[in-house]
Structure 1
Amino acid sequence: MVDLQVTLVVVPRERFSYTRESLESIYAHTKFPFELVYVDGGSPAHIQRYLQQQAAEKNFQLIRTDHYLSPNQARNLGLAAVKSKYVVFVDNDVVVTPGWLTRLVECAEETDAAIVGPLVCIGQPEAGIVHLAGGEAHIELQQKEKNGKIKIKRRVHEKHYFVNRRLADVQNQLQRIQCEFAEFHCVLVRREIFTKVGVLDEKLLNTREHIDFSMTVAQAGGKIYCEPASIVTYVPGPPFELSDMPYFMLRWSDAWELASLKHFREKWDVTEDKYFQKRYERLGLRRHQAFLKPLVRRFTFGKRSRWLEQKIVPLERTLNRYISDRYQQELGVRG
């Protein structure tokens, strides 16, 4: 048997209905040898059957739980099964392009990077809209004097490069760079770094996990690169299937987001400033854009009704609390 260098760990991001397209893309466009571990966290029955069939046909390892998983929970489950030099975490709504994995590995080998992220686009692949091409993420120290006393504030600095630009417009500006973070849509990690930093933080349920991991690796001396010659695309909904709704609602629940932000803030001892206030103000926005606004348009003949949306938001938040509370209760019963 060949000692493979790379294991792909595919995990749920926010829905299950794009599973087939994403998995077919990986097998169609990946020539570099790899093993695959697929973590299925409570997918609906038709997706579960599809994955079982594909696992048997393609001989990959399928790890199934009958309950939903947060992304870092799923990644840690997959990571535990990895023995190769590199692990590549891939969300289940990502499609890849030819040569993507080869170029990630080449970058890691040539730079000795601990983390390598590809150029990530967003939307339909043919649109070529950049979501991320590297970025900055670190803690800034801000010194202020008040009443003769010096006070140090720790603030989060985060900046995405080339966000929402057309790939065709910035192609000649893109080059391999050392940067400060990569996102988990798709990221190659040198497995040995986990012996220094431990597994991924599962208290970060749905946000800031990429910043947390990148800063932790940087603290341990690991280098982070973006390799734009490797291109993948994150394909968010809509459309969604009805069976996507419970997981999407939990994944982007107010409870999970508030708990994640609180833990991140305390872990890194950072000031609760505009960086966090902006996120508090946007609580529920993903759910409202994915389900609430399309639902309203169905009853208003395709037109937007802000008045009706505002009336429904409190009901949606109540439903969202019920979903997250029920999940916690069921998790407690499972023990």
Structure 2
Amino acid sequence: MKSPERILRENGRLNGNSDFSPGDSDEAYPRFLAERTENGRLRTELAAAQLLAERLRDQSAHYKHQAQYFASIVRLMQSSKFWGLRNAWFRAKRAVGRGPGPLAIDAGVSDSPVGSDDAYLLWRTKHEPRDSDITRMRRDASALRYTPVISVLMPTYETPEPMLRAAIESVQRQAYPFWELCIADDASPSAYVRDVIDEYCAADSRIKAVFRGETGHISRASNSALELATGEFAGYLDHDDLLTPDALYEVAAAINADPELDMLYSDEDKIDETGRLSEPHFKPDWSPDSILGRNYICHFSVYRRSILNELGGLRPAFDGSQDYDLVLRFSERTNRIGHIPRVLYHWRRHANSSAADPVAKTYAFEAGRRAIDEALQRRGETGSAEPVERAPGSYVVRFTITRPGKVSIIIPTRDHGDDVDRCLTSIFERTVYPDFEVIVVDNGSTNAHDIATFRRWENADPRVRVLRHDVPFNFSNINNFAVSHAKGDYLLFLNNDTEVISVGWLGGMIEWAQRPAIGAVGAKLFYPDDTIQHAGVVIGIGGVAGHSHKYYPREAPGYFSMLCAPVNYTAVTGACLMMRREVFDEIGGFDESLAIAFNDVDLCLRVRQAGYRIVALPNVELYHFESKSRGQDDTAEKARRFIEEQQLMQRRWWVAGMSDPCYSPNLTLVHENFDIRM
């Protein structure tokens, strides 16, 4: 969509054509004034129209996600054991002429986390390397300044022959020639497994194998493969999965771009028994706190072999989550971790694979929990991982509060006493953490009832203070003013139109905000209809920033379970944002040139710039009735102000061209729903 400024500029209204020159005639001056007034009216009307269009787009997205949610319910019902038995019964009746066939329900829309398979097919036609690209890569590979040998480690056990051959040949088809395939068979009883492996070893000297005398399971078998390796880097390939032909070339190219890298990982998708590709997982760059909640790394991951050997490879005690445990341990040795935002790995989905039925691997989820707990112990952080029942393989780490301190809860308002009353009631009813104060900043209230409500709260509890601050509305200035009067070690910026849902919410935020590496902590916010209003902020959506998972149903797991675990984001909303006082002071507080919009995004970008990380928590939940304190941006003046602040953000951060490290460049910047970017 063109901006109002661009539309006007293209029509000659903002390029100086109507400027009045002192040399013009006296008769021209009134005409100049009339034109200038008309130009201003057109600008503001177009700005308001743009905002209206954005709202219509948001409503459309809302209804789409509601439809996807109900469709997912239907599909869950259809996939249940009862439904299968029901359809089998109807088929039997029909076979003997006693009734209709099974009832089929068309769910109507897809609830795929990345959009429809058609969308992914279209994306692949644009981004998958063509044969000519692979030919070029083969030519360019030898010209790389640095050509490390990459050892592909593949444990096998009773692998179906077609899948075993396909896996091996996917390595042989690599555009990058400097590799070795290290196979460790875990005492497969079927003779054909050894015969196939021997066949490929005899035909290609880069393939070597060891045949274990007894079954030791995946970690021991993988470690046997590691013992064969001689490459500077080693990556893991499951015996029934596939590498894309450009996989090792892309790894080598990334290492050449940054030779200091110790670990790399790529995006991945699923492949079924018919060869159909689906469910691409487009990942963020390395996110140290996200990895404490779920193993988003998975495939394809490549490690500097010297560090891998120092760590002793995979640990058998963590079979099922051995790769998760490895990532946690490896990232404690180095932070030189790179992400290749390309699909380089096809994860096989078949009857016996975890890709087809991840819920079946309950032992793996327990191993994942233990891996996180041990990682916390090694790092000297007191806490434990709590499994998320509705999203197996996801966890919420609950840290022990070791740096307690007073929390200053800052609530700006102008009138809206009923909103403030509801907000304060929820705080005092649902807060377990005892050491807090509430600062209500009265920004020029005039309603006697509302003012009386503020005073009633102030008189009822000594932890509540009301500060009068009669200035034109400026969110940044109001909050900075409140901080100057705050006594807390932690600052919690909270909108007046919020209502706490989670008991223990305040302590939950302190658990993460106390950590030295964390600069800001956000919460999960809901609209009154229990759809998501905020779960983190993605830079670039809508031109500046947008709320992730907007309009998703409350119980939705989100894009690859992102709504179920703590996740690193580049920003979180100022409607509920906690940070340590020392961090706020270090970055200079809110920028008061951003009076209305994006002040929270700017704050978070400066937090990141100072070297801190930002996290959004799934277990801290509030309702947010959104912008009630100042109304919607639907007047000409508010629209003009919004656009000016949007332009300021563009000049300062170039947000439209920024690649958000906590978001994938393969995902949309038009909507907040993690659709594929076309």
User: Quick check: TM above 0.5?
Assistant: yes
Distance 1:32 1:204, change over 3 A: same
Residue 413 of structure 2 is aligned with which of 8, 12, 19? 12
Residue 551 of structure 2 is aligned with which of 160, 164, 171? 164
Structure-2 separation of matches of 1:103 and 1:27: 15
Q: Does 1:63 align with 2:467?
A: yes
CA contact (8 A) 2:417 2:449 kept: no
Which residue number in structure 2 is paired with residue 265 of structure 1? 650
Which residue number in structure 1 is paired with residue 457 of structure 2? 54
Distance 1:269 1:248, change over 3 A: closer
CA contact (8 A) 2:567 2:615 kept: yes
The DSSP-based 3-state class of the residue aligned with 2:433 is: coil
Distance 1:263 1:163, change over 3 A: same
Structure 1: unaligned runs, 5 residues or longer: 140-154, 274-335
CA contact (8 A) 1:70 1:206 kept: yes
Q: Does 1:231 align with 2:231?
A: no
CA contact (8 A) 2:517 2:613 kept: yes
Distance 1:12 1:250, change over 3 A: farther
Specify which structure has the bigger relative contact order, considering alpha-carbon pairs within 8 angstroms and separated by 6 or more residues: 1
Q: Does 1:115 align with 2:520?
A: yes
CA contact (8 A) 2:413 2:440 kept: no
CA contact (8 A) 2:538 2:546 kept: yes
Structure-2 separation of matches of 1:40 and 1:103: 28
The DSSP-based 3-state class of the residue aligned with 2:485 is: coil
Point out the more displaced range, 107-116 or 247-256: 247-256
The DSSP-based 3-state class of the residue aligned with 2:487 is: coil
Residue 137 of structure 1 is aligned with which of 539, 563, 585? 539
What is the deviation of 1:94?
A: 0.4
CA contact (8 A) 2:596 2:641 kept: yes
Which residue number in structure 2 is paired with residue 103 of structure 1? 508
Structure 2: unaligned runs, 5 residues or longer: 1-403, 659-678
Which residue number in structure 1 is paired with residue 177 of structure 2? none
Point out the more displaced range, 190-199 or 130-139: 130-139
Which residue number in structure 2 is paired with residue 35 of structure 1? 437
Q: Does 1:200 align with 2:590?
A: yes
Structure-2 separation of matches of 1:189 and 1:213: 11
* Identical pairs, percent: 21
What is the deviation of 1:19?
A: 1.9
CA contact (8 A) 1:11 1:92 kept: yes
CA contact (8 A) 2:523 2:577 kept: yes
What is the deviation of 1:271?
A: 6.4
**Aligned AA for 2:504?**
G
Return the TM-score normalized by structure 2. 0.34
The DSSP-based 3-state class of the residue aligned with 2:486 is: coil
Structure-2 separation of matches of 1:253 and 1:14: 19
**Aligned AA for 2:451?**
Q
CA contact (8 A) 2:537 2:570 kept: yes
Distance 1:217 1:250, change over 3 A: farther
The DSSP-based 3-state class of the residue aligned with 1:114 is: strand
Q: Does 1:190 align with 2:190?
A: no
What is the deviation of 1:55?
A: 0.7
Point out the more displaced range, 259-268 or 58-67: 259-268
Which residue number in structure 1 is paired with residue 485 of structure 2? 81
Point out the more displaced range, 252-261 or 179-188: 252-261
Q: Does 1:128 align with 2:530?
A: yes
Richer in strand (by share): 1
**Aligned AA for 2:521?**
V
Which residue number in structure 1 is paired with residue 427 of structure 2? 26
The DSSP-based 3-state class of the residue aligned with 1:232 is: strand
Return the TM-score normalized by structure 1. 0.65
What is the deviation of 1:210?
A: 1.8
Structure-1 separation of matches of 2:493 and 2:415: 15
Structure-2 separation of matches of 1:251 and 1:233: 29
Which residue number in structure 1 is paired with residue 204 of structure 2? none
Question: How do 1:183-332 and structure 2 match up within 5 A?
Answer: 183-236=573-626, 253-268=638-653
Deviating runs (4+, > 3 A) in structure 1?
Answer: 13-17, 155-160, 244-252, 269-273
CA contact (8 A) 2:525 2:535 kept: yes
CA contact (8 A) 2:522 2:576 kept: yes
Distance 1:233 1:48, change over 3 A: same
Structure-2 separation of matches of 1:251 and 1:94: 27
